[in-house]
Amino acid sequence: MTKLARRLVPSLARVALLVVASVVLYRQTLDYHAFFVDDAFISLRYSERLLNGQGLTWTDGERVEGYTNFLWVLLVAGVGAFQPTALVGSAKILGVSASLLTLAAVLWAQRGPGLRSCIPGAYGAAALAVSGPLAAWSVAGLEQPLLLAALAWGVVLSSPLLDVRRVSLRQAWPAGVCFALAVLTRPDGILMPAMACFGLLLARTFVPPTQAGRTGWLKRLVHDGLPSALVLGALPLLVLAAHLVFRKGYYGEWVPNTYHAKVAFTAERLALGVHYLSKGALFWVLGLPCLATAVAFAKDRHRRRRVLVLLPMLLAWVSYVVAIGGDIMPQRRHLLVALVLTVLLGAEGLAWLVARGGRTSLFAYVVAVVSVAALVVQQRDDPEKTWALRDLWHWPARPIGSFFRASFGDKDPLLAVDAAGALPYFWKGRALDMLGLNDAWLAKHPPSRFGTGPLAHELGDGDYVWRRKPDIIVFHLPTGLEAAEWRGGRELQAKAEFGAFYQFVTFETPLPTRETGHAWFRKEDSSLGVQRSATQIVVPGHLLSSDRRGRIRLDPEGWVGADVWPEAPARLDFLTLKPGRWLVAAEGRGHVTLSISDGPGRQPFARGVDRVVAVVPRSTSAVTIAAELAWGDMARVRSVTLTRQ
């Protein structure tokens, strides 16, 4: 075999392995085709508003950095510019593409002559390709694949810096660019270049190139280790500084709003972090190649230098994940960085075995095959996969958000939500995040004992939400609940005046996707509420759905009304009404019997079909208006108008 062939064959083999690994990973992602987390829609909302000329904002009126993936938001917007209505698809395309780049980096991390040199890279690519977490987060819509690609290529491109006589900026800039991308991808991405620089400092100080080994370690630290680390870290540090200046100038903060909303260093968070780390025990089989890495670290100077770059990154990331309490999303999102670094470490041990030749090469092959096969077997009954496949609660937000937009969008109401992702994204209008990820006031006014409750769900202030006067409130999931789940909603409902100002409404979205949802609508002092003039009061039909069996629907003509069935009357309680003579008339389809009483459950003092003249007693300040089906199968009430006689 010629010299050219000896170089070409391994390269072609790596390309073939990359194709195979990519096909395996893509097949894995098909299992997660519907997996797209709610938080991803927060990023998409920022991307969409950026495309629409509304800036990097989540809602009108304030600038809040509620995302933690600056570069990802920009890239999604860039790809989405070609098809702005398909940002979900854009995020999936970017995620899968970035994951394929990670596979390529792992394959190219261990290059050498001969086909045997492909074994370590093949192991790494195969281990990642069959891992459920990478497949899931490749299509989940968040930035993890981009972070992994930046990390993996940063490691690969910084490896040559270990053996050069003196590290120059020309040699370090490719790795520096990758680590700078990691810094822009996530705020905690700074850990990657920081620990890579620290590892390079350790390697060039304590395990220097042979020609520098005779000088003292302190002299090597000053003249080689520190300068090398600074050269590698120069570009990431410059990018970090530029991003901080942008954040301060645009948002008025040095840290993202999510830092205030999530981060707390408490014993409770530490316990959560340890528990979260235990979820990585599924991948213990990937520790088998790392045993060879430990031996190589002890016996081989070259491998020792490479391990010293990887190990600080792994230890720092794991410590960070434990300190912040882990994560609340399925399929080990924050452990993916540790997974890639573990695979790269294991590949170092396999490469050392392969380099020794003979039977050790065969042993390396066996260890690689056994590790990957065992990983496949271990994941068959993985509860995290089951959780991810069933984590579809946010998709009803698509028809619900469209229903809200079609029904009420022209009134520019304020929608208050707990789940700040999918519903506000599909709603498109003004929104209030009651859990504070996208609200500066809530994030900066945490409750007492912050950091001891559920991660990312501790913020909330009923008084603050009340002052904001939201027109629609959806508690908990996009489909809504009658009773609030989280702090702010519970405090809001505990107010004595809540029932007088808000009406519980059950609605149903139009075909072809029929979803039933629940929300609280503000019925006074609201663009969607009761409209008053000197002589007339108009009650919109969507406020007449207080009976739990009733529904409001969007009529084909574009107006919203309450359906009235024999078993489902419509009713509005606590309507403030001055004493006197009133003509009450219903507008809509079909015929209803209107009744007026001085409270829910009371006997009506006026009753009639489609319209009735009611004399409101002077002792009454609030009435109940009820509409029951007069005849036929169904009626739909668009509005009830009260005219003073």
What is the pLDDT, as a whole number, of residue 548?
A: 64
- Mean of pLDDT values over 94-106: 97
User: For 409-428, what is each residue's pLDDT tens digit?
Assistant: 999 999 999 999 999 999 99
Average pLDDT over residues 383-392: 94
pLDDT in the model for residue 567: 83
**What number of residues does the chain have?**
645
Q: Sign of the C-alpha dihedral, residues 204, 207, 208, 209?
A: negative
Question: What string of DSSP letters covers 92-144?
Answer: HHHHHHHHHHHHHHHHHHS--SSGGGHHHHHHHHHHHHT-HHHHHHHSSSSSH
Q: Is the pLDDT of residue 259 over 90?
A: yes
In this predicted model, what pLDDT tens digit does every residue of 319-345 receive, in sequence order?
Answer: 999 999 999 999 999 999 999 999 999
Tokens of 56: 């990097």
Contacts of residue 16, defined as CB under 8 A and 6 or more positions apart, other chains included, come to: none
Which pLDDT score, from 0 to 100, does residue 213 have?
A: 56
Show the tokens assigned to 41: 């829609």
Q: What is the pLDDT of residue 5?
A: 59
Distance between CA atoms of residues 392 and 295, nearest Å: 45
Minimum mean pLDDT among 112-121, 223-232, 515-524: which range?
112-121
Contact 99, 336 (CB under 8 A): no
Q: What letter would DSSP give residue 474? A: E
Q: Is the pLDDT score of 113 beyond 80?
A: no
pLDDT for res 571:
87
pLDDT-wise least confident of 219-223, 252-256, 467-471, 529-533 = 219-223
Please check the confidence at residue 377 and state whether its pLDDT lies above 90. Answer: yes
Cβ count within 10 A of residue 52: 11
Does pLDDT of 190 surpass 60?
yes
The confidence score (pLDDT) of residue 41 equals 97
- Rounded to an integer, the average pLDDT of 287-298 is 93
Cα–Cα distance for residue pair 270/280, rounded to 1 Å: 16
Q: State the average pLDDT over residues 108-122.
A: 85
Query: In the numeric block, which tokens belong to residue 421?
Result: 């992702």
Give yes or no for residue 29 having a pLDDT over 90: yes
Q: Which residues contact 417 (CB under 8 A, 6 or more apart)?
A: 423, 424, 431, 432, 433, 434, 473, 474, 478
Interval 45-60: pLDDT, tens: 999 999 999 999 999 9
Q: Give me the pLDDT at residue 49, please.
A: 97
For the chain, give the mean pLDDT. 92
Average pLDDT of the segment spanning 146-168: 93
For range 136-159, the mean pLDDT: 96
Q: What is the pLDDT of residue 211?
A: 57
Comparing C-alpha atoms, which of 476, 487, 456 is closest to residue 394?
A: 476
Compute the distance between CA of residue 220 and CA of residue 226 in angstroms, rounded to an integer.
Answer: 8
- pLDDT of 441 reads 96
- Compute φ and ψ for 391, nearest 5 degrees: -85, 70
Q: Where are the beta strands (DSSP E) in 151-201?
A: none
Q: Is 506 exposed, middle or buried (0-12, 13-18, 19+ CB in 10 A)?
A: buried
